[in-house]
Structure 1
Amino acid sequence: MQLKGKIAVISGGGQGIGGGIVQRFLEEGAQVAILQRRPLQTSLEQHPTVLGIQADLTDPAAITTAIERTATHFGKIDVLVNNAGIMFERSVAEIQCEEWDTMMALNLRAPLFLAQAVLPHMKRSGGGSIINIGSIEGLAANPGHTAYSASKAGMHGMTKALAVDLGPDNIRCNAIAPGWISSELSENYLNAQADPAAARAGLKALHPVGRIGRPTDVGDLAVYLASDNSSFLTGEIIVLDGGRTAKLPLPF
Structure 2
Amino acid sequence: MEGAQVALLDRSAEGLDRAAQQIGSQSSTVLADVRDPSAVEAAVASAAKSMGGIDGVVNAAGISLWRSLEETSHDEWRNVMSINLDGPFHVCKAVIAELKKAGRGTIVNIASGAAFRQTPNFGAYCTSKAALVMMTKVLAAELVGLNIRANSICPGVIYTPMVERTLSGSTDRKQRTAQYFERQGMKRFGTVEEIAKLALFLTGPDSSFTTGSAYSADGGSVYH
TM-score when normalising by structure 2: 0.90
Instruction: Indicate yes or no: 2:213 matched with 1:213.
Output: no
State, as a whole percentage, how many aligned pairs show the same letter. Answer: 36
Distance in 1 between the 2:17 and 2:93 partners? 30
1:152 is aligned to 129
Q: Is the 8 A contact 2:9 2:16 kept in 1?
A: no
* Of 28, 31, 34, the match for 2:8: 34
* Other-structure match for 1:44: 19
In 1, Cα distance between equivalents of 2:159 and 2:211: 27
Measured at CA, do residues 220 and 80 of structure 1 come closer, stay the same or move farther in structure 2, by a change above 3 Å?
A: same
* Structure 2 counterpart of 1:44, one-letter code: A
Unaligned runs of 5+ in 2: none
Shift of 1:200: 4.0
CA contact (8 A) 2:34 2:83 kept: yes
Whole-angstrom distance in 2 between the partners of 1:99 and 1:93: 12
Matches of 1:93 and 1:116 in 2, distance apart?
Answer: 32
1:198: Cα distance to partner? 5.3
> Aligned partner of 2:98: which letter?
H
Q: Matches of 2:157 and 2:144 in 1, distance apart?
A: 31
> Does the aligned pair in 1 maintain the 2:16–2:29 contact within 8 Å?
no
Alignment length, in residue pairs?
221
Aligned residue type for 2:85: L
Q: CA deviation at 1:143?
A: 2.1
Q: In 2 relative to 1, CA 117–195 (structure 1 residues): closer, same or farther, beyond 3 Å? A: closer
Q: CA RMSD in A?
A: 2.0
What is the SS of the residue equivalent to 1:244? coil
CA drift at 1:199: 4.6
SS at 1:245 equivalent? coil
Provide, for residues 178-231 of structure 1, a one-character-per-residue CA deviation record: whole Å limited to 9, x for no partner.
001012232343344455345545645643234220011111111100001101
- The structural deviation recorded for 1:113 is 2.1
Deviation, structure 1 residue 141: 2.9
* Aligned AA (2:120): P
Distance 1:67 1:121 in 2: 9
Listed as ranges, the gaps of 5+ residues in structure 1 are 1-25, 248-252
